[in-house]
Amino acid sequence: MEIGVLGPLAVLDGGVPIDIPGEKVRAIMATLALSPGVTVSSFDLLGELWGERPPRSAANSLQGHVARLRRALVQHSGKETMRGLIRTSGTGYMLALSPACVDASRFVADVELAGRLRGSDPGKVVTVLAEALATWRGPALLDTGHGMICRTAAARLEETRLMARELVIDARLALGAHHEAVPELEELLSRHPLRERLCEQLMTALYRCGRQADAISTFHRLRHRLTAELGLEPSPALQGTLAAILRQEAALLRGPS
């Protein structure tokens, strides 16, 4: 059994998709999949499905939605044992799967591994994260409703996805692939114009490509946005990168970004 939340909800049994009908039923499955092997309280599920003011019938409705979820798992798989995938406890429900069966859990674990390898094995970082990023099929938790648990998890996963792309770029710069990194960094910075780490990476890549003036211009564009929109100056790290470029420090050409 595999559960995918890095995009629309996907439930697969031996690679065969199982249709989970109804937004609330999908929200239950997604919420449980975010904490596999851990009981999610009925109180939290009620809040996820109906917000802060659930109707009086919400508890009964929750039981009905869970029953529909179990029925869908059994009917589409043809296996009565699939009913036990959603377990009832005294306080709520649990998805009886290992975190390794959920794409989001695997993705976060891969990013954590890449973070540990970043200073020692950039080639491995690129390989691990290229495979991990390829598992995304669209925005996280795309069709699982607007409950707080799923919305918070989606934002956290999207931030982790961006961190993963930054780690990949760090690794590529360490491997000397600065020319290839520039277009990707320009595209990322256009979508995240206040992201200082992306700006620092782009400045470094441009400088290593012999484009010192463009690297300096990149800094000043970000500085203008920061001061105009937030009243802030660039971080000391970013200002340090600018200073190193202005001094034409040789270490910036060969060292990690």
CA distance linking residue 182 with residue 201, whole number of Å: 9
In the structure, what pLDDT confidence band is assigned to residue 255 with cuts at 50, 70 and 90?
low
Report yes or no: 7 and 139 within 8 Å, Cβ to Cβ. yes
Q: Buried (b) or exposed (e) across 219-256, using 16+ Cβ within 10 A?
A: beebbeebeeeeeeebeeebeebbebbeeeeeebeeee
- DSSP structure class, residue 3: E
CA distance linking residue 73 with residue 32, whole number of Å: 14
Contacts of 244 (CB under 8 A, 6+ apart): 251, 252
Element (H, E) at 252: helix 250-254
CA distance linking residue 59 with residue 57, whole number of Å: 6
Taking Cα atoms as reference points, which of 49, 44, 39 lies closest to residue 88? 39
Q: What is the pLDDT of residues 193-226, one digit of tens each?
A: 999 999 999 999 999 999 999 999 999 999 999 9
CA distance linking residue 66 with residue 49, whole number of Å: 12
Q: Which residues pair with 40 in a beta bridge?
A: 93
Q: Strands 40-41, 92-95: parallel, antiparallel or unpaired by DSSP?
A: antiparallel
* Fold classified for 176-257: 1.25.40
Q: What is the pLDDT of residues 90-133, one digit of tens each?
A: 899 999 999 999 999 999 999 999 999 998 999 999 999 999 99
Domain 2-98 has CATH 1.10.10.10: yes
Whole-number percent of the chain with pLDDT over 90: 90
- DSSP structure class, residue 162: H
Report yes or no: 29 and 48 within 8 Å, Cβ to Cβ. no
CA distance linking residue 158 with residue 27, whole number of Å: 18
Q: Which two tokens stand for residue 250?
A: 């040789």
Asked whether the predicted pLDDT for residue 15 surpasses 70, the reply is yes
Q: Model pTM?
A: 0.92
Q: What is the pLDDT of residues 140-190, one digit of tens each?
A: 999 999 999 999 999 999 999 999 999 999 999 999 999 999 999 999 999
Amino acid sitting at position 107: F
User: Quick one: pLDDT at residue 76?
Assistant: 83
In the structure, what pLDDT confidence band is assigned to residue 253 with cuts at 50, 70 and 90?
confident
CA distance linking residue 6 with residue 33, whole number of Å: 11
Asked whether the predicted pLDDT for residue 257 surpasses 50, the reply is no
Measured CA to CA in angstroms, residue 186 lies from 74, 180, 191, 225 at distances of 48, 11, 9, 16
The residue ranges of every structural domain in the chain are 2-98, 176-257
Q: What is the pLDDT of residues 21-73, one digit of tens each?
A: 999 999 999 999 999 999 999 999 999 999 988 999 999 999 999 999 999 99
Asked whether the predicted pLDDT for residue 251 surpasses 90, the reply is no
